[in-house]
Amino acid sequence: MVGYLVVLLLVLAAAAYWIGRTRAIASVNGDVARLHSLPGQHGMFLALFAAGPALLAILLWSLVTPGIESSIIADRFSSELSGMGIPQVEAFIRDARAMAFGGHVGFADPTKEAAAAVYKSIHTTSIWIIWAVALVLSASGFYWAYSRIAPAYRARHVVERVLRAFLIACSVVAILTTIGIVLSLIFESLRFFQQVPFYKFLFGTHWSPQSAFTGAGAEAGAVNEDIFGMVPLFAGTLLITFIAMLVAAPIGLMAAIYLSDYASKSVRAVAKPVLEILAGIPTVVYGFFAALTVAPYFRGIGESLGLNVASESALAAGVVMGIMIIPFVSSLSDDVINAVPQSLRDGSAGLGATKSETIRKVVLPAALPGIVSAMLLAVSRAIGETMIVVMAAGLAANLTANPLEAVTTVTVQIVTLLVGDQEFDSAKTLAAFALGLVLFCITLTLNIVALRVVQKYREQYD
């Protein structure tokens, strides 16, 4: 229904463009040079005012109606819903909506059917309202703009100002995204911290939220605060990240050095795409590789050496994650190494240093801040990486530093807690947001520090 309205408005806009153009030309009897703005700009102006406000209204309507409709339903059926918890109420409204829009629901009952009928009628009313509002806006906008079209009218300025506003709005989307992330994480985390104290979450060493609800009878539903200690997750994340960096840092850095200072053109022509392909492979593919090839392989080696390697060892996940990060490290290092001025290399070579002496004693020390920031970015990347660890690391939160054992990570737990059916305000689900907040803060700090360092470093040579 509303789809038709949008199409209608677009058609109206096209018509308005043509009308505005014609009127502008007619207003000067075809002598276009007498117009302040081009006829097309008058057309655009008219089209913008004919369809723009109405389209904005529709956007606003589509954002707020679901909430309004739900609250009306909840209000009307408040007596029936009074005995239910929040998740049940949400489920009830969801079902009512589904039934109203012709879907099938597992457990239909007369109350839900009644609610669905009410829902349907409210929704129909609301569609009528938006139709009316949109048409009124469109007509008045058209009328107002149409009366403005005159040879001296500065249609171009209006159009350009609207365009500029649109451009600004688009830039603000990035900020809105960040605000959305921060608010949603903080909001849900606060709800979590109402149930589980902050310090128990940050410093607790026991993590098993799958058994979040303990007790029976009167105590059923009480949250056990002691099973939300994130230290083991953090330790596991650090362990896997450390292993990944052990692989990625030397290989990435040496590859960057070799490619920028030693490799012949033909080697570079092969090696650069290889690194780019490694960088372009989706992480889920690395995860599959880790779980099905690398982990059993390490297990086999461990067995032949008499070691007990877990089938979801931190080692396998870490090594594969390291492979994934190699191109990241090498491309960042490459930038940094190339930013060291040639004059320093010449100065060193002019003193009779060999290539490796120049690199080790002049280039690398000079590039050190940049390399450090590259490594920080790589660490941040490793900490936030999800699919490899979800597929290849364990689920049980072991607090261990042994890379042959299975550990779990922050991201794995977020996925585990949120995949599948969930009630949105159980401590389990909210814990995922708290973990997300921790993850966001850590990676953000690392990124900011890294960007600062690299900026300072750039300034040094500019």
Partner 1 sequence: MNIMTEAGVEQKLSSGTNAPSIKMKGEKVSVHYGEKRALFDVDLDIRENQVTALIGPSGCGKSTFLRCLNRMNDTIDIARVSGKITLDGEDVYDPKIDVVELRARVGMVFQKPNPFPKSIYENVAYGPRIHGLARSKAELDGIVESSLKKAGLFNEVKDRLLESGTGLSGGQQQRLCIARAIAVSPEVILMDEPCSALDPIATARVEELIDELRQNYTIVIVTHSMQQAARVSQRTAMFHLGYLVEEGATDKMFTNPDDKRTQDYITGRFG
Partner 2 sequence: MTDAISSFGAVGRPVSIHTDDAAKARLKGRYRTETWFKWLGAAAVALAGLFLVLLLSTIVTQAIPALRQNYLTLPIDLSASKVDPAKLDAVNYDAIAQEALTAKFPDVKSRQDKRLLRGLISTGTGVFLRKDIAADPGMLGGTVDYAVPLDDFADLYLKGLLADVGSDEAISTSVTPSETSGDIDLTFGDDAMLTLARGHGATERENGTLTLTSGASSLLVAFNGGTVKLTALSSGTNGTAVAKGTVIEALDSTAPAASGQAFLRVIDTPEASRKISDKMIVWLDTLKSAGLIESRFNSIFFFTGASREPELAGVWGAVVGSFLTMIVTLAIAFPIGVSAAIYLEEFAPKNRLTTIIEVNINNLAAVPSIVFGLLGLAVFLNFFGMPRSAPVVGGMVLALMTLPIIIIASRASLRAVPPSIREAALGIGASKVQTVFHHVLPLAMPGIMTGTILGMAHALGETAPLLMIGMVAFIVDIPGGFTDPATILPVQIFMWADFPEAGFQQKTSAAILILLVFLVIMNAIAVILRRRFERRW
Pick from 237, 330, 331, 373: which binds partner 2 (CB under 8 A)?
Answer: 330
- Give 68 or 267: the residue with its C-beta nearer to partner 1: 267
96 touches partner 2 by CB under 8 A:
no
What CA–CA distances, in Å, run from 133 to 7, 53, 300? 16, 10, 70
180 touches partner 2 by CB under 8 A:
yes
- Give 142 or 382: the residue with its C-beta nearer to partner 2: 382
Q: Compose the 122-161 pattern: x for residues touching partner 2 by CB under 8 A, - for all others.
A: ----------------------------------x---x-
Residues 6+ apart with CB under 8 A from 39: 20, 21, 22, 24, 25, 32
141 binds, among partner 2, partner 1, none (CB under 5 to 8 A by kind): none
- Residues lying near partner 1 in the complex (CB under 8 A): 341, 343-354, 357, 361-362, 365-366, 460
258 binds, among partner 2, partner 1, none (CB under 5 to 8 A by kind): partner 2
Write out the binding residues for partner 2, residues 186-245 only, by CB under 8 A: 187-188
Candidate ranges 108-116, 134-142, 184-192, 197-205; the one touching partner 2 (CB under 8 A): 184-192
Number of residues in contact with partner 2, rule: CB under 8 A?
Answer: 94
355 touches partner 2 by CB under 8 A:
yes
Q: How far is the CB of 379 from partner 1 (least distance, A)?
A: 25
- Give 21 or 345: the residue with its C-beta nearer to partner 1: 345
Cβ atoms of 328 and 248 within 8 Å: the answer is: yes
166 binds, among partner 2, partner 1, none (CB under 5 to 8 A by kind): partner 2
10 touches partner 2 by CB under 8 A:
no
Q: How far is the CB of 341 from partner 1 (least distance, A)?
A: 7
Pick from 86, 132, 139, 172: which binds partner 2 (CB under 8 A)?
Answer: 172
Pick from 286, 315, 363, 366: which binds partner 2 (CB under 8 A)?
Answer: 286
Write out the binding residues for partner 2, residues 429-458 only, by CB under 8 A: 432-433, 436, 439-440, 443-444, 447-448, 451
- Give 276 or 346: the residue with its C-beta nearer to partner 1: 346
Beta bridge partners of 313: 406
Candidate ranges 116-124, 193-201, 363-371, 415-423; the one touching partner 2 (CB under 8 A): 415-423
Pick from 354, 361, 365, 368: which binds partner 2 (CB under 8 A)?
Answer: 354
Q: How far is the CB of 285 from partner 2 (least distance, A)?
A: 5
345 binds, among partner 2, partner 1, none (CB under 5 to 8 A by kind): partner 1
460 binds, among partner 1, partner 2, none (CB under 5 to 8 A by kind): partner 1
